[in-house]
Amino acid sequence: MTAPFPSLLISASGLTPQGAFATSQATFLNPDPAVIDDLVASLSARNVGIVAHFYMDVELQGVLTAAAERWPHIAISDSLAMADTAVKMSEDGVAAIIVLGVDFMSENVRAVLDAAGHAATPVYRVDAREIGCSLAASAEALAYGAWLSRAAATPRSLHVIYINTGLDVKGSAHAVVPTITCTSSNVVGTVLQAAAQIPDLSVWYGPDTYMGDNLKTLFTRLSKGDPAEITALHPAHTPQTVTDLLSRFEVFPQGNCVVHHMFGEEVVAKVRADHPDAYHTAHLEVPGEMFALAAEAARHGRGCVGSTSNILHFIRDRLAEQLAQEGPARLQFVLGTEAGMITSIVDRVQALLATSGREDVEVEVIFPVAAEAVAIDEGSDLGIIPGVAGGEGCSTAGGCATCPYMKMNSLDTLTDVLESVGTDRDMTPLEPKKYTQLIGGRTAADIGSEPILHMRHFQRSGQLPSALVEDVLDR
């Protein structure tokens, strides 16, 4: 790993990619206007909305970002916002919603729409095949069921399950132990609020082992640190209450995402050596080495640990601060998450630079990707594809390229589905799974929606719903 990490230099006047991987990302950031015209015309004619995750491939994201300037019912966000945006689109009268993401995202959108009274709004995926997720699969293993059995046998247990799981898994878990979903942006608040509301609570977090371990690291530091820092996160907590929480905080030990898994020791060592003065960002799902690097930087105002949205806002805010100052500058950000975020980053950064009229300020986004994470593809116009030849999206030498499951969503498959909306085509294979099997006399879809609705209640009120609290206390 002696070659420099690839990077993308963003200025008001354009983009300068450095390295093959960055070139592959930048190629599609200025899409063909004819393609944008066709997509907008088709969406408008069929009155269809699109909710997409940040991790879509750059070709698709580039077109969507440009089309969103002309069609209001396109939104690119993290998984937490996707369902809320879909509800807004349904309220605005769209005829159907296409979800660009993995299957648990379309299931989540379907469940939230149903709960909000929009069951009549169709939801479609863009591939009839299963669009899986290695992390979600971790919660389907027998080991997860055995782990939940331990939780059920422990008094006052609450299962906090990452939203990146199937609806049937959420339902099966909720039938065993009271369950609430979380995202990377609200998990800290969820755990702290639960511990504040329920005395002697035992928290069982899964299936993402890296995120769980990172939460333990965070809570351990808080338990030994400045009480004011804890109070800023949650006014009911002190170093002692966080210490008590840690004694009853359990993490599932066998779950991870194939993409975030590769931000390991070798990559972090190179980041430290080559970019000591950069801003460091890390998704909560990355291994401890990358988390520790970004968390350390964050304590000095030069890093961010959190969700994709947290990272995007961090980059935007640091640039805004720099633009308020005089003189030339180049801000460097190490992107410690999936590379698909680059489209939204470029969009936000160039908008700020254009508004400011500054040509002397640049942003460089560094992809901590090993050279081995770029495979040669002689059939590609670029000559390369992000991701090793085996299709994993990452290299065992370290560094993440892209999620292979997210990339099952493509411009071609979107176009195919969009052109079929409102026709005689059987769209059933493209709908989210129904999960009609019964769990305790209720369908898996019905009971699996409850943990999501518990989370939405927490998001609105800042409190766990009383029904969930009573469930924890009564079982």
What are the tens digits of pLDDT across the range 314-362? 999 999 999 999 999 999 999 887 777 888 898 899 999 999 999 999 9
Instruction: Compare 58 and 148 and report the one with higher pLDDT.
Output: 148
Say what the pLDDT of residue 26 is: 79
Kind and range of the H or E run holding 177 = none
What are the tens digits of pLDDT across the range 180-197? 999 888 899 999 999 999
DSSP state, residue 262: G
My answer on whether 369 and 414 are in the same domain is: no
Q: How far apart are CA 133 and CA 406, in angstroms?
A: 9
My answer on whether 143 and 213 are in the same domain is: yes
Last residue of a domain, one of 360, 390, 405: 405
My answer on whether 201 and 216 are in the same domain is: yes
What are the tens digits of pLDDT across the range 363-375? 999 988 654 443 3
What are the tens digits of pLDDT across the range 397-417? 333 445 666 777 888 999 999
What are the tens digits of pLDDT across the range 231-261? 988 999 999 999 999 999 999 987 765 554 4
| Three-class DSSP category at 121 | coil
Residue spans of alpha helices (H) in 282-333 = 288-299, 308-323
My answer on whether 352 and 285 are in the same domain is: yes
Say what the pLDDT of residue 402 is: 56
Residue 154 has pLDDT above 60, yes or no: yes
Q: How far apart are CA 313 and CA 259, in angstroms?
A: 22
Highest averaged pLDDT of the listed ranges 136-145, 241-250, 281-290? 241-250
Task: Provide the pLDDT confidence category of residue 56 given band limits of 50, 70 and 90.
Answer: confident
Say what the pLDDT of residue 361 is: 97
Say what the pLDDT of residue 260 is: 44
Question: What angle, rounded to 10 degrees, do the helices at 103-115 and 79-91 form?
Answer: 40
Do the domain assignments include residue 2?
no
Do the domain assignments include residue 1?
no
My answer on whether 46 and 163 are in the same domain is: no
Q: What is the mean pLDDT of the chain?
A: 85
Average pLDDT, stretch 415-443? 89
Residue 277 has pLDDT above 90, yes or no: yes
Do the domain assignments include residue 361?
yes
What are the tens digits of pLDDT across the range 158-170? 999 988 888 888 9
**Cα angle vertex 455, ends 226, 110, to 5°?**
145
Residue 390 has pLDDT above 60, yes or no: no
My answer on whether 173 and 239 are in the same domain is: yes
Scored b (16 or more CB within 10 A) or e, 213-247 reads bbbbebbeebbeeeeeebeeebeebeeebbebbbe
User: Is the whole-model pTM more than 0.85?
Assistant: no
Q: Give the residue from 133, 10, 23 showing the smallest Cα distance to 385.
A: 23
Say what the pLDDT of residue 133 is: 64
Number of structural domains (the chain) is 3
What are the tens digits of pLDDT across the range 82-131? 989 999 999 999 999 999 988 888 988 998 898 899 999 999 999 888 87
Say what the pLDDT of residue 409 is: 85
My answer on whether 120 and 212 are in the same domain is: no
Instruction: Compare 204 and 449 and report the one with higher pLDDT.
Output: 204
List the CATH number of the domain containing 82.
3.40.50.10800
Q: How far apart are CA 56 and CA 76, in angstroms?
A: 9
What are the tens digits of pLDDT across the range 3-44? 788 889 999 989 999 887 778 777 777 889 999 999 999 999
Domain that includes residue 318, residue range: 7-27+258-405
DSSP 53-103: ETTS-HHHHHHHHHHTTT-SSEEEE-HHHHHHHHHHHHHTT-SEEEEES-H
